Amino acid sequence: MAKKPSKKIRVDFRKNRQNSTRQNDFTRRVQTDDADIDELKRGQRVSGKGDLSRRRTVFGERGDDDSFVLSVDEAACLRGRVLSAIGSTQCTVQVDEGQPHAGKRFECTVRRVVRTVARDARNAVVTGDRVLFLPSENQFGVIERVEPRRGVLARGHQYRQHILVANVSQVAIVSSAAEPALKPALIDRFLVSSAKGNVRAIIVVNKCDLIDVSDLQPMIGQYARLGYTVVPASVQTGLGIAWLQRLLKNEQTVFTGQSGVGKSSLLNTIQPGLAIKTGDVSRITQKGRHTTRYAQLRELTLGGWVVDTPGIRQLELWNVQPEEMEGFFLEFRPFVPRCKFPDCLHLVEDGCAVRDAVQQDLISQIRYESYLRLVIGDD
Ligand SMILES: Nc1nc2c(ncn2[C@@H]2O[C@H](COP(=O)(O)OP(=O)(O)O)[C@@H](O)[C@H]2O)c(=O)[nH]1
Ligand SMILES: [Mg+2]
Ligand SMILES: [Zn+2]
């Protein structure tokens, strides 16, 4: 196989804003300074101008997703998966199978150059990332490289993208048949987020013990025709649990959905202790004890991972343009080319074939309403 050509890039290192926090934390200072010295030892050029205006040549290649994959000393590094990442700097990494320290967990900081080559420094390292890290003593280490991601879930947060988790293979969109009532619009919103992140979706309808399951058939049929798997489930009766276990085996699955629908109960039924207790979410950071919202990977004994996203009630859509929305509603596709105007948003325009299809019951009214809410964005 032909090797991709190595590329050199020049990167600017911004003025080091970590100085003040370093002063507060002696161990961190030692680690970070050692990391800088290591970089010097490995022959990376550092200009003599000090921190204010450093430029450096780094080596690497473009990943398939257009990320920049740094060249690192692979023999000295361990490969692992980020179980949780706080602020892209404090990461817990579990070593992959087939390597020294397999299964062990390391508390890692992130080499500054990793943040520099990331498109957005805040998302430089996220939960689920595959990384190479340089281990040091006492199960500490420094992340040297983040592998290209496939399948990310992101949300908009304070007008910026916040990647919640990377390398996810599927999302379990959990809803409940009753208490709280089934909300198709919410399911559709989650379906769009998953499709936007290139992640397969499974729809779980929990609490089926509270209803007559045959009442769900039209809804199940509708989503099944669109190619989605719908699992009727109940923690009370055990309905759907074995099916869910089969669907989760050897996959990386994010559980998401409104609070109260039974995500924690389902996770604990699938595997005792799988759900994160709310108390586990707080963690000591440099600024004191913080209850942060971050995703955490949990290993399944049957193979694979699940990610619980405590405190994140819903995935706000990030960067989905109104004109792009129709593409996420698969049943609209045959009609879109027949609209009179090529830029039709299927709202009030004349000659809209999508609206005609809704009128003729060829597109479900409920799905069309979900579409409207997402395009108009007022829910
Ligand atoms: N009747 C019924 N109640 C359930 C079921 N699953 C969960 N619950 C209840 O729903 C409530 C919320 O569950 P929880 O797992 O905390 O929901 P989460 O917020 O999505 O994690 C709890 O009181 C559960 O006992 C179910 O299948 N049937
Ligand atoms: Mg919960
Ligand atoms: Zn139209």
Q: Identify the band that residue 103 occupies on the pLDDT scale cut at 50, 70 and 90.
A: very high
What is the Å distance from ligand 1's center to 261 Cα? Answer: 6
**C-beta 263 within 6 A of ligand 1:** yes
What is the Å distance from ligand 2's center to 367 Cα? Answer: 27
Report the SS3 class of residue 33: helix
Q: Which of the two residues, 148 and 43, has the higher pLDDT score?
A: 148
Q: Identify the band that residue 47 occupies on the pLDDT scale cut at 50, 70 and 90.
A: very low
Report the predicted TM-score, pTM, of the whole model to 2 decimal places: 0.77
Region of poorest pLDDT, from 81-95, 249-263, 274-288: 274-288
Residues 6+ apart with CB under 8 A from 46: 39, 40, 54, 56
What is the Å distance from ligand 3's center to 345 Cα? Answer: 6
CATH class in words for 152-308: alpha beta
Which atom of ligand 1 is closest in space to residue 210's alpha carbon? Answer: 1
Q: Which amino acid is at 296?
A: Q
What's the average model confidence in pLDDT over 282-296?
Answer: 52
**C-beta 102 within 6 A of ligand 1:** no
What's the average model confidence in pLDDT over 26-55?
Answer: 45
State how far the Cα of 318 lies from the Cα of 153, in Å rounded to an integer. Answer: 9
Topology match between the domains 7-146 and 152-308: no
CB 209 within 8 A of CB 240: no
Residues in the chain: 379
For the residues of 274-334, what is the DSSP string, one character each?
Answer: -SPPGGGGEEEETTEEEE----EEEE-TTSEEEEE-TT-------S--HHHHGGG-GGGTT
Output the CATH code of domain 7-146: 2.40.50.140
Q: Identify the band that residue 321 occupies on the pLDDT scale cut at 50, 70 and 90.
A: confident
Domain ranges in the chain? 7-146, 152-308, 322-376
**C-beta 113 within 6 A of ligand 1:** no
Q: Is the dihedral of CA 179, 182, 188, 191 positive or negative?
A: positive
What is the reported pLDDT for 42?
53
For the chain, the first-to-last Cα distance in angstroms comes to 51
Q: Sheet containing 304-308: which strands, arranged edge to edge?
A: 229-232, 200-206, 170-176, 251-256, 304-308, 296-299
Structure tokens, 88: 């892209």
State how far the Cα of 108 lies from the Cα of 82, in Å rounded to an integer. Answer: 9
What is the Å distance from ligand 3's center to 379 Cα? Answer: 22
Which of 239, 265, 268 is the pocket-test mutation for ligand 1 (most atoms within 8 Å of CB)? 265
**C-beta 265 within 6 A of ligand 1:** yes
Report the SS3 class of residue 170: strand
What is the reported pLDDT for 209?
98
Domain 322-376 has CATH 1.10.40.50: yes
